[in-house]
Structure 1
Amino acid sequence: MCVPDSEEVSEGREILGGGFASGNLHSPMEFSPDAQNESWEKDAILDPVPLRNSFPLDSIGEDAVVSDRKQGSMNNFLPALRSGEWSDIGARSDMEDTHICVEDLAMNFGCKKIGEEAISLYGVFDGHGGKGAAQFVRDQLPRVIVEDADFPLELEKVVARSFMKTDAAFANSCSLESALSSGTTALTAMIFGRSLLVANAGDCRAVLSRRGVAIEMSKDHRPCCMNERMRIESLGGYIDDGYLNGMLGVTRALGDWHIEGLKEGEKGGPLSAEPELKLLTLTKEDEFLIIGSDGLWDVFRSENAVDFVRRRLQEHNNVKLCCTEIVDEAKKRGAIDNLTVVIVCFHLEPPPSITVQRTRVRRSISAEGLQNLKFLLEG
C-alpha cells in the first residue's frame, strides 16, 4: 500500500548547493586492494555497465555552482559526524535487513590517500527472498566504489556505475551457487566535506532534518509511482495488483536474477538496479540524516520521524540510543517488517529548540494519531 508522504517542504526552499566544495578531489590516489576479500567474480565487476534506465534526481547546474562559490566565504561549516544504528527482526521469521557504517571508506577498503578528507559511507540494504543479496551487496558495493578508476573524482558516476557492477557480480555468484538467489533494495549516503550524496534503488528512505523540517533525499521505488510505471511499461513490464510483473513490491533492486522476465532484455528488464541520485551541500542548519528500511516508513512519516529523533537527541544527545528508541517506537506502532535505521548527526551538540512552521493545511488529528487509528481499525 502506498501512503502519501509527510507535509511538503515550504515552496521555494532551496536545498541544493553546488558540487563538491573541496578542492582536494584531485589529490593523487594509490590503491592496495585486499586480496583476501575478493571471493566474488572480479572479471564481471570490471566490465563496463551502461546506465540506461534513469537519470539522477537532481543534477547540479552552472547557476547552482556559481551560487555555491559566492556563498563559500559565508559558509565555513564542516560536519562533525556522529552515527548510530540499530536493527530488529520485527514480527518476521527471518532477518533480511543489513546495513553498513564506514567513517573512512578509502582507508577501510585499502585505498591510501594523500592530503584528502575522509569519505564516509552509510547504507541500509533490505533483502527479500533471502538474505544472500543484501549481505553480498553490503560486503562488495563499498569495495567496487573504491576500486573504480574515477573514484573519488566523479562520485556520482562512480556510485551509479558501482550499483550496476555489483548487481552483475551477484548474478555471476548466483549462477555458481543457486542458494544465493534473492534480491535487495539498497540506499547509500556518502559524505565528503560538506557534500552529501544519496543513492537509492528500492523503497528504503533517507530523510534530512534541516532545522526540524524533513527533506526527503530519496523517493520510494514502488509500483504506484507513475514515473516508475512508465519506465517499466516502456521495457515490456507491467503492474499487476500493485506488484511489478505481479511478483515484486518494489521496482528497483539488486539481485532477483532468478526471477524470469525481470532483468532480461536488450535494454534491460523492468526491474532496474540503477540508483537515483541526489546531491546536496550541507549547511550548519542541517542537523541529521535518517536512513531506514521500509519497515520504519510503514509506520513513520518523514516529518514525524524527524520530530521524534529531534526530541530524543534534545533529551540525551545519544545517537545510538536514539536509533534503538525509534525502532522500539515503530514496533509499538504495529510495524511487522524487519526494522533497520542508521542516523548520522552533523553536529556534536543536540538540535536547538525551535518552532517549525508547518503546512497551511489544518488538521484535527496528527499524522501519528491517524496512523495509530488505522492500526486500531484494522485490528
Structure 2
Amino acid sequence: MCVEGLEDAGRLDFGDQGIDKHADFAMERVCENTVSVDFKQTKLNNFVPFIRSGEWSDIGGRDYMEDAHVCISDLAKNFGYKAVDDEVISFYGVFDGHGGKDAAHYVRDNLPRVIVEDADFPLELEKVVKRSFVETDSKFAETFSHHKGLSSGTTALTAMIFGRSLLVANAGDCRAVLSRCGTAIEMSKDHRPCCINERKRVESLGGYVDDGYLNGQLAVTRALGDWHLEGMKEMGEPGGPLSAEPELKMITLTKDDEFLIIGSDGIWDFFSNQNAVDFARRKLQDHNDLRLCCREIVDEAIRRGARDNLTAVMVSFHQEAPPQTRVNRTGRVARSISAEGLHNLRVLLEGQ
C-alpha cells in the first residue's frame, strides 16, 4: 500500500491490524499498488476477474484540492478482519468535496471501516453499504459539531468487487462507467436538481430547486456532510431534501467486461461516457498501464479546458489490455460536433 500526503492532523496505522479508530484527515490519497485475484470459480461461469487498479488526481485550476479517493485491494484484511470463505472484497471510492476538504477526507477515512464493522457484512452487502453511507454522514455531524469541518460536504461514489459481482453506490455527481467490449455502460446516475426523480424527492421533503440549485445553494441533491446548511438535513427519518443515501447498481461481471472508470464530476464535464471508454481503451492498448491511463484522462480533461479538481480511478478485470475490436453500437446517432470541438467553438465565440 502507498500512502501519500500525510498530515500531522491524524494518525493512521496500515499494518496487519488495520487503521487506527482515531484516524483523522491524514491522507490526500490512499492507494494499494497490488493485485488481488479471486480464484473462486463457479460451475455456471468460469470467468475469474483479475483485479488491478490505478488512480490519478490533479488540483486543476482551483486554489485547493478537495477531491479524495481510496483504493483497497482487500477490504476485510485492510482492517484486520478475516474474509468470509476467503472471498476477497476490493473497494474503490472517489469523494468530491465542496466548501472544504474535511468532509471528503472524513468519508474516505471512515466509510470503509463502517462498512466492514457492520454486523451484516459481507452477507448482505447492499443493505450494509446503503446503511453505512447514512451512518458515516451522521457520525460526521456528531464528531465535528464544534469543528470547522462541519461547514463542508462531499459527494461519494464507491465500487466493490467480490467474486464476479460489481456493486456501485453513488450519492452525488461522481460517475462510474463500465467498458463492455468497448461499449460504455452507465453504472451510476448523477444526482442533480435537474433530474426529474430527484426534484420530486426533494420537493416531497420540503426542499425546492432555484435556478438549477437545491434550495438555491447546492448543485447536487445527494451528498454527505453539509449539516451547516439550514433546511438541508435532519437527523432520523425522513430526513431533509439533501440525502446521504446512495443509489445502488449491482451486476455480474463476464469476460466481456473490461474495466471500470470512476471519476469526479470535473472529468465528466469534458468526457461523455463513451468518449471516456474509447479514450481509455486506446491508451490501454498502447501501454496497458492503468495509473498512466488515469493520468492521461486527467491531463486530457485539463487540455480540453477543465478547471475543477480532477480525480480518476480505474479498475481492470483482465490482466491483458482490451483487444483491438470494432465496436458495433446499436442505433444511429446524429453527431455534428465532438465535445472537444464544442468547447473550442465556445472559447472562440467568447473571445470575440
Instruction: Report the secondary structure of 2:20's partner residue.
Output: helix
In the TM superposition, 1:32-71 aligns within 5 A as: 36-38=20-22
Distance across 2 between alignment mates of 1:120 and 1:96: 24
Residues 364-373 or 209-218, more deviating: 364-373
Name the structure 1 match of 2:300: 329
Instruction: Report the secondary structure of 1:214's partner residue.
Output: strand
The superposition leaves residues 266-325 of structure 1 with CA deviations (integer Å, 9 ceiling, x where unpaired) of 521000000000000000000000000000001110000000000000011111110111
Give yes or no for contact 1:133–1:254 (8 Å, CA) kept in 2.
Answer: yes
Give yes or no for contact 1:174–1:181 (8 Å, CA) kept in 2.
Answer: no
Give yes or no for contact 2:141–2:150 (8 Å, CA) kept in 1.
Answer: no
Quick one: structure 1 residues 375 and 356, their matched pair in 2 at CA, closer, same or farther if it must change by over 3 Å?
A: farther
Distance across 1 between alignment mates of 2:345 and 2:327: 25
Name the structure 1 match of 2:190: 220
Give yes or no for contact 1:304–1:368 (8 Å, CA) kept in 2.
Answer: no
> RCO greater where, 1 or 2, for CA within 8 Å and sep 6 or more?
1
Give yes or no for contact 2:150–2:228 (8 Å, CA) kept in 1.
Answer: no
Counterpart of 2:109 (choices 127, 133, 139) is 139
Counterpart of 1:88 (choices 29, 47, 58) is 58
Give yes or no for contact 1:206–1:218 (8 Å, CA) kept in 2.
Answer: yes
Distance across 2 between alignment mates of 1:154 and 1:290: 25
Quick one: structure 1 residues 327 and 203, their matched pair in 2 at CA, closer, same or farther if it must change by over 3 Å?
A: same
Counterpart of 2:334 (choices 333, 346, 362) is 362
Name the structure 1 match of 2:223: 253
Instruction: Report the secondary structure of 2:234's partner residue.
Output: coil
In the TM superposition, 1:93-132 aligns within 5 A as: 93-113=63-83, 115-132=85-102
Name the structure 2 match of 1:9: none
Give yes or no for contact 2:155–2:173 (8 Å, CA) kept in 1.
Answer: yes
The amino acid across from 1:119 in the alignment is I
Instruction: Report the secondary structure of 1:287's partner residue.
Output: strand
Quick one: structure 1 residues 220 and 378, their matched pair in 2 at CA, closer, same or farther if it must change by over 3 Å?
A: farther
The amino acid across from 1:294 in the alignment is D
The amino acid across from 1:171 in the alignment is A
Instruction: Report the secondary structure of 2:314's partner residue.
Output: strand
In the TM superposition, 1:105-254 aligns within 5 A as: 105-113=75-83, 115-254=85-224
Instruction: Report the secondary structure of 2:82's partner residue.
Output: strand
Distance across 1 between alignment mates of 2:260 and 2:320: 15
Quick one: structure 1 residues 187 and 280, their matched pair in 2 at CA, closer, same or farther if it must change by over 3 Å?
A: same
Relative to the length of structure 1, the TM-score reads 0.80
The amino acid across from 2:285 in the alignment is Q
Give yes or no for contact 2:152–2:226 (8 Å, CA) kept in 1.
Answer: yes
Distance across 2 between alignment mates of 1:378 and 1:168: 44
Distance across 2 between alignment mates of 1:101 and 1:182: 23
User: By how many angstroms is 1:74 displaced?
Assistant: 5.3
The amino acid across from 2:20 in the alignment is Q
Give yes or no for contact 1:97–1:125 (8 Å, CA) kept in 2.
Answer: yes
Instruction: Report the secondary structure of 1:37's partner residue.
Output: coil
Quick one: structure 1 residues 114 and 146, their matched pair in 2 at CA, closer, same or farther if it must change by over 3 Å?
A: closer
Name the structure 1 match of 2:289: 318
Residues 340-349 or 357-366, more deviating: 357-366
Give yes or no for contact 1:319–1:343 (8 Å, CA) kept in 2.
Answer: yes
Distance across 1 between alignment mates of 2:187 and 2:158: 11
Instruction: Report the secondary structure of 1:175's partner residue.
Output: coil
User: By how many angstroms is 1:373 displaced?
Assistant: 2.8
User: By how many angstroms is 1:33 displaced?
Assistant: 7.4
Distance across 1 between alignment mates of 2:348 and 2:186: 28
Q: Could you list the runs of 5+ residues in structure 1 that have no partner in the other structure?
A: 1-31, 41-71
Quick one: structure 1 residues 299 and 280, their matched pair in 2 at CA, closer, same or farther if it must change by over 3 Å?
A: same
| RMSD, aligned α-carbons | 1.7
User: By how many angstroms is 1:364 displaced?
Assistant: 3.5
Percent identity over paired residues? 72
Quick one: structure 1 residues 130 and 348, their matched pair in 2 at CA, closer, same or farther if it must change by over 3 Å?
A: same
User: By how many angstroms is 1:115 displaced?
Assistant: 3.6
Question: Structure 1 stretches (4+) deviating beyond 6 angstroms?
Answer: none
Name the structure 2 match of 1:27: none
The superposition leaves residues 237-288 of structure 1 with CA deviations (integer Å, 9 ceiling, x where unpaired) of 0000110000000000000001110002752100000000000000000000
Instruction: Report the secondary structure of 2:217's partner residue.
Output: coil
Query: Does 2:247 align with 1:276?
Result: yes
User: By how many angstroms is 1:365 displaced?
Assistant: 3.1
User: By how many angstroms is 1:112 displaced?
Assistant: 1.7
Equivalenced residues, count: 317
User: By how many angstroms is 1:79 displaced?
Assistant: 0.7
Quick one: structure 1 residues 378 and 283, their matched pair in 2 at CA, closer, same or farther if it must change by over 3 Å?
A: farther
